[in-house]
Amino acid sequence: MSTTDIGTLRGVAAERQIAPIEAEPVAPSSPADPAWSNMKAPDARSQSSSAVAVTNGRRALKVFLSNPNALFGTGFLALVIIIAFIAPILYPDDPLSMVGRPFLWPGQNPDFPLGTDSLGRDVLAGILHGSRISLFVGLTATALGLTFGVLVGSVAGYFGGWIDDALVRLIEIFQTLPSFVLLVVLVAIAQPSATTVTLAIAVISWPTVARLTRAEFRAIREKDFVMAARSLGYGHMRIIFREILPNALPPIIVTSSVMVATAILMESALSFMGLGDPNVVSWGSMIGTGRELVRTAWYLTALPGLAIVFTVLALNLIGDGLNDALNPRFSQDR
Amino acid sequence: MAPLLQVDNLTIRFPRAEPVRDLSFDIGQGETLAIVGESGSGKSLTALALMQLLPRAAKVASGRIAFGGRDLLKLDAREMRHLRGRDIAMIFQEPMTSLNPVMTIGRQIAEVLKVHERLSGRAASERAVELLKLVRIPAPEKRVDDYPHQLSGGMRQRVMIAIAVACKPKLLIADEPTTALDVTIQAQVLDLLDTLRRELQMAVVLITHDLGVVAQWADKVVVMYAGRKVEQALPGDLFNNPLHPYTRGLLAASPRLKNDFHYRDGALSEIPGSIVSAAGEAGCPFRPRCAQARASCGHHVPQLTVPAPDRLVACPFTSPIKAVPHAAALSL
Amino acid sequence: MPALVRIGRTLRRTLLQAIPTVLGIVILNFFLLQLAPGDAADVMAGEAGSATEESMAALRSRFGLDNPVLVQLGHYLNNLAHFSLGFSPRYGMPVADLIAQRLPGTLTLMAVALLIAILLGVILGSLMATFAGRIPDRLLSIFSLLFYSIPSFWIGLMLIVFFSVKLGWLPSGGAATIGSRLTGWPALLDKARYMVLPATSLALFYVAIYARLTRASMLEVKNQDFVRTAYAKGLTPFGVTARHILRNALIPITTMAGMHIGGMLGGAVVVETVYSWPGLGRLAFEAVMGRDFTVLLGILLLSSLLVIIANAAVDLVHAWLDPRIGAR
């Protein structure tokens, strides 16, 4: 239940530099060097993080498309998205309404291929409709968290000084609060609904992005092309958004797919605990309801859980694929 | 007497390239052999092949590496481990990163003694202090507990040397040992290496791109280009009479060999092109960059010929023994 | 520099840095409490069953709820300084006591889960790094990604179905057999049996994280020059891995382990509700159900402190592992 992206070790290394660690006094070290800065080529980090960015987009796409895992992930995610769109057409009725005899096991009645729950609700209809809330919350919360995190991180990393100090403190506070506990508190206070759940997940997910963006900005702002832009008298906004941000994007892109996965897991955990939107069927709430009957009708718990697992797995496979494609330094060992 | 190390027709192969081709050289006990070439010429890979520490993708495709009468390529992993660090030791180019950052230098020196001489912990650390003294590190009793980041580059390279000579090896391979160091430190480190060579009667393979180093410290020089030996000579002969066009180019591009050189005297000459352009070409690998190239150079790789005693050259169009103007300024 | 000096300096620096964070968290906590619907007076009135406007006002002034916000913040800070987190009418006891009662359960669960996660993760990660790019690595990579994608509450329920319901090997909930009079080893064994499933459910996600992290970190270290030096000394591959690679690779792993303590606390909340494990998470769940915000925010505050302490501990381990830290 963490929003930390595990794919980009490099990002983490840079993140820890918030409390600067004296690394190699003799070696030429910039503040954004990782703590264990004794890698082979001192410029390997900068090469992998920035120079690759836009110019190698085509190459990255090629690498991504030649990765079977990533393709499987993309395919499955596309399927889930399609399902989310056509669920209301396939099952126009409210999935929370009773449609059949309760406790039908999967396969017992061809009208309800995945069976019915204790109230006679169609499990398949629930799972198909449940994809809507999962994707909605996952994508919206990530979009919000990304926007805010990138803004905060780029301002902190670009300007430095007291703005940076203050923002780093803020990030620190949010990263210290256990994110899921904070999430529970926020949703409990604000009353659960799709909107509050989404906003609350965005609130707990922005600090990771902010840290990552800040670390990238700190590394890139010292680069020659940024110096050149500055000497040309470009404004701060132009330098931030046109010069630095495109080069800082690869790790942020990788993180975003993992953020969607994490947001979906968070939403399902909240719904499981009864803190989801009560008017919408969600995979987590289906598990929560099925839980009481896990001894007898375990399929009620197993099936929506599999939906979560495969959707999240698809997103993580995409994240891995993106990491390999955008961060060649790690993929060369594969 | 048979040479200590004899390399015959060594070829190193990567899946898509052969960075070292058909390389032969030998070295006697207590001798210093210099292997000279620019980066990419295969000299570092040759060194790693001697240690049997090639990267996983690289394989020795053919050849023989005889060390004290045994072919290293036929030894199994365990036998090779017993040689490494004890009979054959190696110093690397980057003293900054070649030491383990989380281990004191004393323990890093002691480690090799524990492995090969089965010394106890205390005996090994006492020897570590002696070795630090041997490589002229001041206050060795204190320094032995330092971590690498507390030492300067020159000091770290001395520690590397201490590790390498700890078991009194018969052969020391030094892969660009001074390239990463300040110019003032370079001479000190090379001087130390030379002293230790005499004291411990080691043979040294000195790998370098710096002809100044070769002039002063080597007994014998092998010039490599694109994975092949293009010239071999005693250092005096090489500097007075470079035969291969590549060697001549190297000498002309080397400012430190001209004592009275000043930049106002004119630009240093450079060898046009890069070593990459040699890959995949038929014929002489140096042809694309050679000023004297002729049509016939593209037909086949030139064979090594013996124009004079103790000399080899791989170019059929070398003008016989003619003084190069600036070579007179060399103090050898 | 001796390791102890290094660790001492790190401790001082870490504690100094934690002060503004703690303050920020406390203030945030206070405002969240202000935002929560209903105050203590409402809750107490609700418990009493009926209340008039006057009695509510009296209650409010008794608890200082009618003071300006800043004064209330002062009271709140003052209370905190005396380790008072407020009073829970539902449980009829101070929140601090309530939390202190439940804390050991959560800490034990987390400690066991963390141990499993780090041990298994480092072993699997080392295997993956050793076989990088080959079949064992690919298989384990997919498995770790799968573990990484499974919600802990769901795998918890599935483990119950399999090991408690179908096989009957392990208990499905609670922390010890109720009413048992076991002592000594049998009691410990009994507790361990109850621990297996919750700890495993919580650990799986982190096994995946640490395995992937160890893999990446070891591959990174493997390519460094000092590893080649170690081989050149004539060390065995095992010796090189154990003495040179692993120790360096552990440095980023400890950092990440620290960053995941907070996440693990969150995971414990969910897992405890699945297994009715008597800990903070279960308490948080009950507080949510009962809309008992004093308790809920007390838990938030305390778990944040736990994270800070854990981070400080990680920094110390870090300083011990890496001599370059605190060299100033």
What residues does each domain of chain A span?
Answer: 66-90+108-333
Count interface pairs A-B at CB distance under 8 A: 15
Highest mean pLDDT among B25-34, B266-275, C181-190, C315-324: B25-34
Other chains touching A, judged by 3 or more CB pairs under 8 Å: B, C
Predicted TM-score (pTM) of the model is: 0.77
CA distances from C296 to A182, C182, C277, C289, C291 (A): 9, 34, 17, 10, 8
Alpha-carbon distance of C134 to A164, in angstroms, equals 44
Q: CB of A302 within 8 A of CB of C158?
A: yes
Contact across the interface for C288 and A274, Cβ inside 8 Å: yes
CB of A58 within 8 Å of a chain B CB? The answer is no
CB of C226 within 8 Å of a chain B CB? The answer is yes
Contact across the interface for A274 and C296, Cβ inside 8 Å: no
Q: Which of B135-144, B293-302, C36-45 has the lowest mean pLDDT?
A: C36-45
Alpha-carbon distance of B113 to A268, in angstroms, equals 58
CB of C323 within 8 Å of a chain B CB? The answer is yes
CB of C255 within 8 Å of a chain A CB? The answer is yes
CATH code of the domain made up of B5-96+170-331 = 3.40.50.300
Contact across the interface for B111 and C322, Cβ inside 8 Å: no
Give the closest-approach CA distance of B268 to chain C in angstroms: 34
Note the pLDDT tens digit of each residue in C242-298. 888 888 888 888 877 777 888 888 888 888 888 888 888 888 888 887 777 788 888
Give the closest-approach CA distance of A59 to chain C in angstroms: 21
Contact across the interface for B96 and A27, Cβ inside 8 Å: yes
Nearest to B23 by CA among B42, B5, B38: B42
pLDDT band at A295 (very low <50, low <70, confident <90, very high): confident
CB of B153 within 8 Å of a chain A CB? The answer is yes
pLDDT at A145: 93
Cβ neighbors of C113 (< 8 A, separation 6 or more) are C198, C199, C200, C202, C203, C206, C264, C268
Q: What percent of chain B has pLDDT over 90?
A: 2
Other chains touching B, judged by 3 or more CB pairs under 8 Å: A, C
Contact across the interface for B97 and C251, Cβ inside 8 Å: no
Among A21, A36, A308, select the one facing C151 at the smallest CB separation.
A308
Give the SS3 label for residue C73.
Answer: helix
Name the closest residue on chain B to residue C323, using Cα atoms.
B102
**What domains lie within chain C, and their CATH numbers?**
2-95 (no CATH), 97-327 (1.10.3720.10)
pLDDT at C81: 73
- Sort out which chain A residues have CB atoms less than 8 A from B97's CB and list them: 38-40
CB of C145 within 8 Å of a chain A CB? The answer is yes
Q: Over range B208-231, report the average pLDDT.
A: 84
Among A25, A36, A40, select the one facing B101 at the smallest CB separation.
A36
* pLDDT at A31 exceeding the cut of 60: no
Supply angle C-alpha A24, A27, A30, rounded to 5: 80
CB within 8 Å of chain A, chain B residues 90-109? 96-97, 101
Q: Which of C18-27, C41-50, C91-100, C261-270 has the lowest mean pLDDT?
A: C41-50
Give the number of other Cβ atoms within 10 Å of residue A101's Cβ.
Answer: 11
* pLDDT at A35 exceeding the cut of 50: no
Contact across the interface for C224 and A40, Cβ inside 8 Å: yes
Q: CB of B229 within 8 A of CB of B312?
A: yes
Other chains touching C, judged by 3 or more CB pairs under 8 Å: A, B
Q: Over range C66-94, report the average pLDDT.
A: 74
Among A169, A185, A313, select the one facing C149 at the smallest CB separation.
A313
> What pairs with residue C279 in β-bridges?
none
Contact across the interface for B149 and A25, Cβ inside 8 Å: yes
- CA dihedral for A314, A279, C270, A262, sign (positive or negative): positive
Among C226, C234, C324, select the one facing B99 at the smallest CB separation.
C226
Q: Over range A232-255, report the average pLDDT.
A: 84
pLDDT at B158: 87
- Sort out which chain B residues have CB atoms less than 8 A from C239's CB and list them: 115
Cβ neighbors of A68 (< 8 A, separation 6 or more) are none
Give the closest-approach CA distance of B155 to chain A in angstroms: 12
Name the closest residue on chain A to residue B152, using Cα atoms.
A26
Name the closest residue on chain B to residue C318, using Cα atoms.
B102
CB within 8 Å of chain C, chain A residues 142-161? none
Mutate to test the interface with B, among A21, A22, A24, A26 (most CBs of B within 10 A): A26
In the predicted model, what is the mean pLDDT of chain B? 81
Cβ neighbors of B238 (< 8 A, separation 6 or more) are B214, B221, B223, B231, B247
Note the pLDDT tens digit of each residue in A150-189. 999 999 988 888 988 889 889 988 888 888 888 988 888 8
Residues of B with CB under 8 A from a CB of C: 51, 53, 81-86, 89-90, 92, 94, 97-104, 111-112, 115-116, 147, 149-150, 160, 163
Strand stretches in B198-246, DSSP E: 203-208, 220-225, 228-233
DSSP state of B213: H
* pLDDT at C230 exceeding the cut of 80: yes
* pLDDT at A296 exceeding the cut of 70: yes
pLDDT band at B266 (very low <50, low <70, confident <90, very high): low
CATH code of the domain made up of A66-90+108-333 = 1.10.3720.10
* pLDDT at A330 exceeding the cut of 50: no
Q: Which of A15-19, A272-276, B126-130, C152-156 has the lowest mean pLDDT?
A: A15-19
DSSP state of B13: E
Contact across the interface for C234 and B102, Cβ inside 8 Å: no
Contact across the interface for B101 and A26, Cβ inside 8 Å: no
Alpha-carbon distance of C195 to C112, in angstroms, equals 8
Contact across the interface for C232 and B94, Cβ inside 8 Å: no
Amino acid at A137: V
Q: CB of B218 within 8 A of CB of B206?
A: yes
- Sort out which chain B residues have CB atoms less than 8 A from A24's CB and list them: 96, 149
CB of A92 within 8 Å of a chain B CB? The answer is no
Supply angle C-alpha C251, C254, C259, rounded to 5: 130
Name the closest residue on chain B to residue A36, using Cα atoms.
B101
Contact across the interface for B84 and C225, Cβ inside 8 Å: no
pLDDT at A141: 93
Contact across the interface for B97 and A26, Cβ inside 8 Å: no
- Sort out which chain A residues have CB atoms less than 8 A from C149's CB and list them: 261, 309-310, 312-313, 315-316
Give the closest-approach CA distance of B57 to chain A in angstroms: 11
